[in-house]
Amino acid sequence: MRLEPDAAGSDAGGMPGLLADKVLVIIGGTAGLGLSAARAVIAAGGRVVIVGRDTIDGQAALAQLGDSARLLSADATDPGTAPTAIAQALEAFGRFDGLYHVAGGSGRSEGDGPLDLLTDSGWDFTLRLNLTSVFYSNRAAVQQFLRQDSPGAILNCSSVLGLSPSPHFFGTHAYAAAKSAIIGLTRSAASTYAPKRIRINALAPGLVATPMSTRAQQNPEILDFIRSKQPLDGGRIGNPTDLDAAVVWLLSSGSEFVTGQVIAVDGGWTVSEGQLP
């Protein structure tokens, strides 16, 4: 079972040049899905500002990405982070064309869980991490596109749990609520800003091998469940690179007639029952 992306990085899903001259901000771009996407963006001809909380991880990511990337060490839940990242993109590369918001995470350790066990602090923590941060970054991006009077693209990372619950192993209701709300925000904002040629879409990944999913990766029962829940390609956990082609396309002019859509990259999760052990 493949759990880690190829060390060589992504080939941009076979779409070199699709992001030529584009400058993107990736909120949560120093590890996992975001770092894989940053590699793909650069392979497709773009340049990026990556944002992450961990300075060491960020510096390691920057070393991989080279001169086409800049790093901002900051917290996505700070309302000043996204405006600062966009300003850095303008200063370093002279333009801003799109934003990919990946940052988020589990609130399980803070009290997220099924509704009868979900704590107030778990709810507040999980929604701030996974939903409020998206509001901050999307607002900043839209405001900049309007100032520029230019088209732009926003891509938000939701989850299959916002569309297709799986309570036995993944019963964290604040997380599901946040990821579902991202879909509502995405579609509502897409409707409002379509006349301005600002496109806003979302991805809904299945279970992917990232630092956040370590618990699942190490649980034999969950791995057995995933064989039937994500049956595509042998029933495996996804790789971050599985999302890269969709990211590149949705942030490029190749999808300029697409907005308000939610694309599940899930190995079949949303169309499969999954057999419990």
> Could you give the count of Cα atoms lying within 13 Å of 42 in the half-sphere of its Cβ?
21
- Domain span at 247: 12-269
Grade residue 56 by pLDDT with cuts at 50, 70 and 90.
Answer: confident
Q: Is residue 4 part of a domain?
A: no
CATH number (domain holding residue 101): 3.40.50.720
> How many domains does one find in the chain?
1
Token pair of 233 as six digits:
């390609």
Residue range 40-49, pLDDT digits in tens: 999 999 999 9
Grade residue 8 by pLDDT with cuts at 50, 70 and 90.
Answer: very low
Provide the pLDDT for residue 15: 61
Indicate the DSSP class of residue 53. Answer: S
Q: Is residue 111 part of a domain?
A: yes
CA distances from residue 75 to 30, 55, 87, 155 in whole angstroms, order as listed: 12, 11, 16, 19
Whole-model pTM?
Answer: 0.93
Q: Is residue 275 part of a domain?
A: no
Q: Which residues contact 211 (CB under 8 A, 6 or more apart)?
A: 31, 32
| CA dihedral (246, 87, 137, 77) positive or negative | positive
**Of 90, 95, 41, 97, which Cα lies nearest the Cα of 68?**
41
Residue range 113-163, pLDDT digits in tens: 999 999 999 999 999 999 999 999 999 999 999 999 999 999 999 999 999
Indicate whether 6 pLDDT > 60: no
Q: Is residue 2 part of a domain?
A: no
Which active-site residues does the annotation give? Answer: 175
Indicate whether 16 pLDDT > 80: no
Q: End-to-end CA distance of the chain: give it in Å, rounded.
A: 19
Q: Is residue 7 part of a domain?
A: no
Count the helices and strands in the chain (H runs, E runs). Answer: 9, 7
CA separation for the pair 184, 217 (Å, rounded) = 29
CA separation for the pair 29, 58 (Å, rounded) = 8
Structural element, H or E, at residue 136: helix 133-148
Indicate whether 9 pLDDT > 60: no
Q: Is residue 133 part of a domain?
A: yes
Q: Is residue 228 part of a domain?
A: yes
Indicate whether 5 pLDDT > 60: no
Residue range 59-77, pLDDT digits in tens: 999 999 999 999 999 999 9
Residue range 99-120, pLDDT digits in tens: 999 999 999 999 999 999 999 9
Q: Is residue 274 part of a domain?
A: no
